[in-house]
Structure 1
């Protein structure tokens, strides 16, 4: 058989192991001598430096260069936004300061005004401000005093005869050949004089419906002073009959229109309430009465129109027609009697013959005409 190598001796292996331990002990002793007996403990994870992340190639904003342009790409935008925000905050602060100063000034001024009022009138409870911090005390508003009601008599008493005479002279000179305009200006003068009279102070429809003829004949001419009446009728006498006839029909139409408006309102409300009428109605009644009393022949010229035109027919319009005829009869009873026979007597035998109110009003007017002017 061939020769084989003998197995290593256990003593040799032990010697090698002991030698290795001895060398390791010497190394540790040398290291300890270098650190003066202290051993340095290290942590590999802390000393490991993280490698910089490589930008993703697919991101177009990434720049692989260190400190590349992508690191400050929004720096200018952020700076502008920051500057703009600071400017807005500064402007808001200035506006708030100005508003506070204005409120303080207004409060101080209001307090000074209140102090002045207290010194002058001695009134208590005036609004004051407490250093601009508190709100001014509310003061109850005083109710406006109602204007006193002006009656027809009071308004008529304020008409100055001298002023009226000067006005008529001026109107006559300004509209020498235009009588219709002269009459309108004349009516306008009286309309202004009675403008303060409310409808409640001159409920003419109710008066004509409920009062006897002897009473309504003198309304509202009875409130005109003698001097104003004389100046007016003397001026009217110088106007032509044709112009006065046209004015009388216009005035009568205005009165009947006002009557129709009030009747329509009463039918809707179903209450017999005097509705507001035009303030010019008082003036129209006054001028119409003065015209017919001074120039009764004007009525004679318009009797056919009053008799034939349906606009002037009807029971509701009868009190107005009776009032018109009564005014002319005050100037000339003959004209009044003629108008009564021509225009009123036929109604006693016509459609209104069976109406006791129509018969009563017609007979009352006849009694007034026969009794003569008052």
Structure 2
């Protein structure tokens, strides 16, 4: 058996994930990730959470399959049995993912009933055992995404205990959603908004672990809000803001990775994405399954309502094809914007 080369996040390496799009159930599927990749070459993209049972026993090609163009892409795993987590991580690595992440932050009843997600904040030793087994099984980075605590926990003690346990077990990074999760009394949606944010708690944790990757998640509504944390912390993770206003991703490479290229405009992103759309339609994918992730692209721009309306109404029709996207794009292409979509596509293909 070939000895595995352990890969971890080197804080001196420009490839560390200074920016990522959070894992979001029902949203960050492979079509969403492929679309977001047109806006940023460097952002780390996350899958939706998938349970160990689904990974081990389910349709792996459907659940784990992704396009090579999505790299760098991380897989979020839900589970708490170390052996199953290691077996799942091995499968994830075989599929070619760049990272595997343990979900210790989701507060939903379904996740709690499976004894994983945010309830694992009470069991840092279990998470550490999972990390240890996964690190033995795979060479890709193993990270954890957690809350600062749950219910009546003291957030100083709870987060310290989680960080100490997982870093001692070899975790390559810790993404912290800077809110408590209330497992009783609040819905998953309310858990994303109601508990107060405590960014200072995450900053204090970083001072304890200057040589470990610690990233921030929770309540970051724009690059302007997120950017000041890159430096004091190692990375920032945006969720709903990036999904509902994906155009902000067009500036990520320049602002957070120092790329010397210009920002990607929404128009350029659509043009770049059309070949993917066409290829997926040939495979039998419904246009609406792809375009639902694009609705917010022109948020706040003239014609945004027409863009959303055309994609929403016409993409669901039988036989809907790329012409629907072109029609929607024409509705937001301002006079003097430049070449036609077809012209840009021809240039891009050349």
Q: TM-score range by the shorter chain?
A: under 0.3
Which structure has the higher relative contact order (CA within 8 Å, separation 6+)? 2
TM-score (norm 1): 0.23
Structure with larger Rg: 1
Q: Which has the higher helix share?
A: 1
